[in-house]
Amino acid sequence: MKSLRVLWVEDDADIRGFVQKMCGPKFGALEIASSVVEAEKIYADMEAKGESPDLLVLDIAMPVEIGTTYARRLRAAGNDVSVLFVSGNDNALNRMEADALGSVGFVTKPFVWDDIFQAVRQLKPGVKG
């Protein structure tokens, strides 16, 4: 069975550490970026190897470029990668924008890991979390 490839973009170093610890063993491949700029490089490297991510997890509020702007650019370029948004700001505008971008979910920080894994299970049945 194909491994689930996840690219997670999060600017908070503590959360990146928790993501590695909690999600690393659950996913077939996990790449973690600290910014959209870093994510773009990782994404391009994955594509060059023929291993595009199955899921892009994007923090919404990040320095330089926010997650929804990056997702909007991907969609405009015809990229239909599944996107899960995470945010410490649970407001209607963020949720509406996530829905408009065709996200597979929106999880509020601080999140419960089961919320993350539930979104992943909807994307790929059979993934245990």
pLDDT tens figures, 69-128: 999 999 999 998 999 999 988 888 888 988 888 888 898 888 888 888 887 777 754 444
Q: For the chain, what is the domain count?
A: 1
Residue 109 lies in a domain: yes
Q: What is the pLDDT at residue 9?
A: 96
Residue 26 lies in a domain: yes
- 74 SS3 class: helix
Residue 125 lies in a domain: no
Strand partners, 86: 59, 107
Structure tokens at 109: 């920080």
- Full domain range(s) for residue 95: 5-120
The number of CA neighbours under 13 Å toward the Cβ of 75 is: 15
Residue 126 lies in a domain: no
99: CATH: 3.40.50.2300
Q: Compute the distance between CA of residue 11 and CA of residue 40 in angstroms, rounded to an integer.
A: 14
Q: Compute the distance between CA of residue 28 and CA of residue 63 in angstroms, rounded to an integer.
A: 29
Q: What percent of the chain has pLDDT over 90?
A: 46
User: Does residue 22 surpass a pLDDT of 50?
Assistant: yes
pTM summary value: 0.88
Residue 129 lies in a domain: no
